[in-house]
Amino acid sequence: MKILDVLPRETIIVDLKSNDKLGVLNELVVPMSGITGIPENKLVQILLDRERLGSTGIGGGIGIPHGKCKDLDSIIVGFGLSRNGVNFESLDGKLTRIFFLLLTSENSTGLHLKLLAQISGLLKKDTFKVRLLKAMNQDEIIDIIKSEDEEF
């Protein structure tokens, strides 16, 4: 499976408007709620519950909020860019600009961890991050991910 297999085009937001963690989570779940049929507030609560265990702002301008949902049958990924950066309580204290949101079913631990590792690995590549930050639309994001996307 590749990231683009679970990243629907409509879950890619290239210009997040929010300037805080809660706002970004609320924005990111809107298209996911539309696809999954799970209410936005429920998805946000799942993500906030996970954030209480420790911030998913991993540093380097990256946030990978994620959570498990019993009402979900498969994995779904969202993507967001904040042009100005957001205080996402990142481990390095810096603003977060690139977000990958992962939602998985409660029984998909192995796949969940593999996907997190795949995304984290890609985001360690500075050229990949720079290209994402310069992207202006969904098609550019898809092309950039496709150029680096491998099976996980």
Q: Is the pLDDT of residue 17 over 90?
A: yes
Domain boundaries, the chain: 3-148
pTM comes to 0.95
User: What is the pLDDT at residue 86?
Assistant: 96
Q: Which 3 state secondary structure label does DSSP give 146?
A: helix
Residue 119 amino acid letter:
I
CA-to-CA dists, residue 90 to 28, 61, 85, 95, 106, angstroms? 17, 8, 11, 7, 25
CB-based burial label for 50 (10 Å; 0-12, 13-18, 19+)? middle
Over residues 77-93, the pLDDT tens digits come to 999 999 999 999 999 99
- CATH architecture, domain 3-148: 3-Layer(aba) Sandwich (3.40)
Q: Which two tokens stand for residue 44?
A: 């946000």
Q: Span 112-127, mean pLDDT? A: 92
Residues annotated as part of the active site: 66
pLDDT tens across 100-109, in order?
Answer: 999 999 888 7
Average model confidence (pLDDT) across the chain: 95
* CA angle centred on 29, ends 149 and 131, rounded to 5°: 35
Digit-coded pLDDT (tens) for 19-65: 999 999 999 999 999 999 999 999 999 999 999 999 999 999 999 99
Q: Please check whether residue 87 is in contact with residue 65, taking contact to mean a CB–CB distance below 8 angstroms.
A: no
Query: What's the pLDDT at 112?
Result: 85
